[in-house]
Amino acid sequence: MRKDFIAQHFNTEHKPAFVEYGYGQVEPNHLSAQRTGQTYAQLPANKDIKVLQQGQFVKYDYAREEVNFGGDTSDGLPAAPGEWMLVFNEIKLYRDNQMDCEFAMIRDNYQARIYSPYDYARSEDDKQALHYNGGPDVVVKPAVYEKATAFETDKTYYTLADDEYTEATGVTSDNFNEGTYYLKTADEVSYSVDDVTAPVDPYEIDYTEDPFHFLGRYWAKKMPEGTTMVPRVFKTNIGDIYTTNTIDEDVLGVGDTLGVGADQANKPGILVVDKKADGTAGAKAARIGANDTMRWQVVRVYTMPDNQRGVKIMRIA
């Protein structure tokens, strides 16, 4: 059967316990981000994230310019602030008869190389056509140097390195070496550029006193090393409702409250039970971050569109 094939080949390592086969899914019922525009899709996923399933949660870590599960604080930055964001990517499947549960964002399926056409950290080369507002002296003829063949007193000697002549000190007849030192035989000829532009005119929006100054080539910003994919994540709000099976629990009941597991060794970003409906603690509640107050309540034990088991959950905190 189709589901047996999916169970054998898809999500064999990262499957949340409530998922029967394939990857976790999201069926949006009332997600406020679809109306408020609180949708984020500008940061690449951390290079160590191999799979992001629908319904998983991540941190939108703008300081590190990546999506992660909390951030490695060894870089000197604090752990990623803010609440968990819901992963809800556009489903892209390219073969007939494929099911939604076959989709997840998988690192090896993406090969993004360029993050942005402009890299703000690499400024453009400054170029100048004409210095109408003054500027550095224009060199007409460079200075001329010739190799000194014999030591002469009261002469200024120069050395040559990397096409630049530098005045030498302490040259005597005892340490003079033929071919090492140079004499200047002609000085540089240059002229200064006068400022012929008017003062700044505050009434002219596009005025410039430097009309022939322009920016040169700019550079594209590459994806951070090792990253390949950029997920779409939703900011959720109290009252949001959606149906999912991306929960790492075998059994769920109406009234159970859920939190996001932050333990990076145990399926990070996956919901687990914080408290059962009767008030007892969930067996996996220790995975939830100590300062994390986001909570979801199971409001209906349900099914996913493909008839896998699922639950409808509502954000209550």
What is the pLDDT, as a whole number, of residue 163?
Answer: 87
Sheet (strand 233-234) strand order: 39-40, 233-234, 85-87, 57-61, 66-68
- DSSP result, 154-189: T--EEEEETTEEEE--S--TTT--TTT-EEEEE--E
pLDDT (tens digit per residue) in 113-141: 999 998 988 877 777 666 677 777 777 89
Give 146's Cβ-side CA count (13 Å radius).
Answer: 7
pLDDT top residue among 204 and 94 = 94
Percent of the chain residues past pLDDT 90, beyond the cut: 67
Structure tokens at 64: 């590190």
Q: Where are the domains of the chain?
A: 2-119+222-315, 126-215
> Is pLDDT above 80 for 211?
no
Query: What is the radius of gyration, based on Cα positions, of the chain?
Result: 33
Q: What is the distance between the alpha carbons of residues 222 and 303, in angstroms, rounded to a whole number?
A: 42
Whole-model pTM: value is 0.74
For the segment 294-304, the average pLDDT, to the nearest whole number, is: 97
Is 202's pLDDT higher than 90? no
- What the block records as the tokens of 281 is 């603690």
Cβ(70)–Cβ(284) under 8 Å? no
Tens-place pLDDT, residues 63-82: 999 999 987 788 888 888 88
Among 14-23, 90-99, 209-218, 300-309, name the one with the lowest average pLDDT. Answer: 209-218
- What share of the chain in percent tops pLDDT 70? 95
